[in-house]
Amino acid sequence: MGTRPFELARTRLTLFQALLRARDAKGGKFKILEDHERKPLSYDDIITRVFALGGKLEGLIKRRETAGIMLPTGAGCVVTFFALHAIGRTPAMLNFTAGAMNLRSACEAASVKKILTSKRFIQLAKLESLAAELSKHAKLIYLEDVGKSIDFGDKIIAVLKTLAPRLFIAKASPDDTGVILFTSGSYGAPKGAVLSHANLVSNVEQGYSHVPFEPDWSFFCPLPMFHCFGLLGGVLLPLFTGHKTFLYPSPTQVKEIPKLIKETGANVFFATDTFAQQYARNAADDDLKCIRLMVLGAEKVKQETRDLYMRRFGVELLEGYGATEASPLISVNIPGKNRYGTVGQFVPALEWKLEAVPGIDGGQKLYVRGPNVMRGYLDPLKPFGIDLLPQGWHDTGDVVDVDEDGFIRILGRVKRFAKIGGEMVSLNAVEGYAQQLWPGAMHAAISMPDTRKGERLVLFTNQKDADSSAFVAWCKENGVADIAVPKRIISVDDIPVLGTGKTDYVALGRMATDLLARAEAA
């Protein structure tokens, strides 16, 4: 299999240097990247395009300036990302599903004055109003316009630079900022994580030394590049290790993606549980049988999803765990050591420690430190604009249990516990009870202020006939404590999700506040 021992020395590269190392190993003509346009690109094709685009962007974006990238997953986004690195600019990946307010806040935090985007993308994604709002705060640079300015002479220069690329890329240190990514905003306003080149290259090496990849396997990635899972798992990992990758612009095309996986013969696929279920339900019986390694992250993997993939496609699902702040991979199950109910074992070279959380039994809060863990969050009030981590330790905010073999079980986020009558109740557990009662539906539990008991539970579900009495009866039958039973169950057509596939608990909180206010006013 394609694992190799983790070597810290291999991580002391910039992102562009890591790309060139892979090109040297596989050969410049090796077709490494393809997207929905169905025009495979070799390493040399990518680097030539990078130099051609970078040459034009150099006059539009100041040296050391942070530039926003607002593009769908695809070859264009990859070329733009590396073009900024080639000329010594820092990319900030902008989540175009986050809404104007969050995006404006992100641009202010990262001092983004220029945003690289595409007219065609804005039109197809119906983002005209978002673009209009952003243009009040930053200059939108449309890549179609930049492309038209690239003439024959520019292309010849780019080809010549590709012959000796190390002579022409901007000087940078592995410890310089490689990218600014923004946290998902599942529970509040997104924060800007400052990841160095070495952070990302380290996480590629950690993943490749932890998970067995066959040398000829290829990847399929529909996850957004503004999300760490998509950027590292679907783009940087295969590019830096010489595995072909097929990029698709949106994970929501649940009918098209299974067909393309079969057509491309992809063997490695990353997704979230929510999307994985939809792909399976829209796939023909042989669409996903080519998959040899499928990792789900960002949310808990349901047993129903595991059973569905094994029964229909013979695919064993592997659950992993990560955080934007860790580039993102922290742990993952692997074939032959797949322990259900856990997110696997820690990747190499990652330190960890646990601290007790008052009121929460059976688990402790996880802290991690290592070569893949970010420098800190953006903070304009701090030196160099970064709030550095204390002694390099990142507080994940997750309550976990680690067994004697090092397998991690996620009990929930500290924020995902409600304090009811002085006792802590896991909102993840409440969702788990609903899943057992109504296995075919999606559920999301939140807590709301309560003048009598501190907080009260509200459960959202898309189960059409969801009924409080049925939930209460199930809980009594299964010995669930009364304080863990939601006082209100709200049926909705769809549980709101973020662009990454995670449940949007902020939106649910607003919905609950509005619904309860109207109920009290009636």
What sign for the dihedral angle of Cα 192, 197, 201, 206?
A: negative
Residue 299 has pLDDT above 90, yes or no: no
Residue 222 has pLDDT above 90, yes or no: yes
pLDDT tens track for 3-38: 678 898 889 999 999 999 999 999 999 999 999 999
Residue 188 has pLDDT above 60, yes or no: no
Question: What's the pLDDT score for residue 140?
Answer: 97
Domain boundaries, the chain: 421-521
Laid out side by side, the sheet with 386-388 consists of 139-142, 114-117, 66-69, 90-93, 177-182, 192-196, 376-378, 386-388
Q: Which of these, 235, 247, 272, lies nearest to 504 by C-alpha position?
A: 272
Task: Identify the H or E element spanning 306.
Answer: helix 303-313
Question: What's the pLDDT score for residue 483?
Answer: 77
pLDDT tens track for 389-422: 989 999 998 999 999 999 999 987 777 777 676 6
How far are the Cα atoms of 274, 346, 362, 499 from residue 409, in angstroms, in the given order?
20, 12, 11, 25
Cα–Cα distance between 393 and 368 in angstroms, integer?
6
Percent of the chain clearing pLDDT 70 (strictly above)? 95
Q: What is the mean pLDDT of residues 504-508?
A: 81
Task: Identify the H or E element spanning 42.
Answer: strand 41-42
Question: What's the pLDDT score for residue 514?
Answer: 80
Cα–Cα distance between 330 and 352 in angstroms, integer?
10
Asked if omega into 251 is within 30° of 0 (cis), the reply is no
Angle separating helix axes 43-57 and 152-163, nearest 10 degrees: 120
How far are the Cα atoms of 417, 448, 459 from residue 228, in angstroms, in the given order?
25, 30, 29
Laid out side by side, the sheet with 488-491 consists of 443-450, 454-461, 488-491
The secondary structure of residue 337, as a DSSP letter, is B
The chain-wide mean pLDDT, for the chain, equals 90
pLDDT tens track for 238-283: 999 999 999 999 999 999 999 999 999 999 999 989 899 999 999 9
Question: What's the pLDDT score for residue 513?
Answer: 82
User: Is residue 414 a contact partner of residue 437, using CB atoms and an 8 Å limit?
Assistant: no
Of residues 486 and 231, more confidence is placed in 231
**382-59-76 Cα angle (round to 5):** 85
User: Is residue 78 a contact partner of residue 46, using CB atoms and an 8 Å limit?
Assistant: yes
Question: What's the pLDDT score for residue 5?
Answer: 85
pLDDT tens track for 417-462: 776 766 677 787 888 888 888 888 889 888 877 767 677 888 889 8
pLDDT tens track for 61-117: 998 889 999 999 999 999 999 999 999 999 999 999 888 888 998 999 899 999 999
Q: Which of these, 338, 339, 342, 30, lies nearest to 212 by C-alpha position?
A: 338
How far are the Cα atoms of 52, 55, 139, 153 from residue 156, in angstroms, in the given order?
9, 12, 29, 5
Cα–Cα distance between 447 and 450 in angstroms, integer?
9
Select from 3.40.50.300, 3.40.50.720, 3.30.365.10, 3.30.300.30 the CATH code of 421-521. Answer: 3.30.300.30
